[in-house]
Amino acid sequence: MILDAPPELPDILAEPHLLELALVNLATNARDAMPKGGTFSISLDKAQVADANAAALKAGDYLRISASDTGCGMNETTVSRATEPLFTTKAGQSGTGLGLSMIRDFITQAGGAMQLRSAEGKGTLVDIWLPALP
């Protein structure tokens, strides 16, 4: 695992245990997507949104948490369903879903947004945007 967190990041107002659960879900999904090994990375940075954008974020300062893996990735159909409650890519009775709907709901309630990008054979990237405190 690679962690890139610069020393000066903005403060945010979010439930710490929900943020922790979100990161654990992303790490678990990455682990499951890389059965033969790979790299899971988390990077944090201060990001500024000047105008409305594709993630429907309001203009302002944000903490952006980017979690990526070099796993098997997902096709477009899977990505389009990945944030449905209890949706899973896991076979049989293993797992309870990807957890992405919980992450999306938590982030949205905190005034942020989540972006999911993935391609088969190329891994997955999840960007979590949380509003910075003034």
Give the start-to-end residue ranges of the domains of the chain. 2-50+86-131
Residue 26: the pLDDT is 96
> What single letter denotes the amino acid at residue 133?
L
Q: Which fold has domain 2-50+86-131?
A: Heat Shock Protein 90 (3.30.565)
Q: How far apart are CA 83 and CA 104, in angstroms?
A: 7
Closest alpha carbon to 20 in 84, 96, 102: 102
Residue 87: the pLDDT is 84
Residue 55: the pLDDT is 64
Determine contact, residues 31/94, Cβ cutoff 8 Å: no
Phi, psi of 112 (to 5 degrees): -110, -155
pLDDT averaged over consecutive 10-residue blocks of the chain (134 residues)?
94 95 95 95 94 77 97 95 85 68 94 95 97 95
**Cα R_g (the chain), whole angstroms:** 15
Determine contact, residues 127/114, Cβ cutoff 8 Å: yes
Phi, psi of 62 (to 5 degrees): -140, 155
Using DSSP, state whether 24 is helix, strand or coil: helix
Residue 97: the pLDDT is 67
Closest alpha carbon to 132 in 47, 5, 10, 9: 10
The angle subtended at Cα 7 by Cα 3 and Cα 12, nearest 5°, is 90
Determine contact, residues 126/116, Cβ cutoff 8 Å: yes
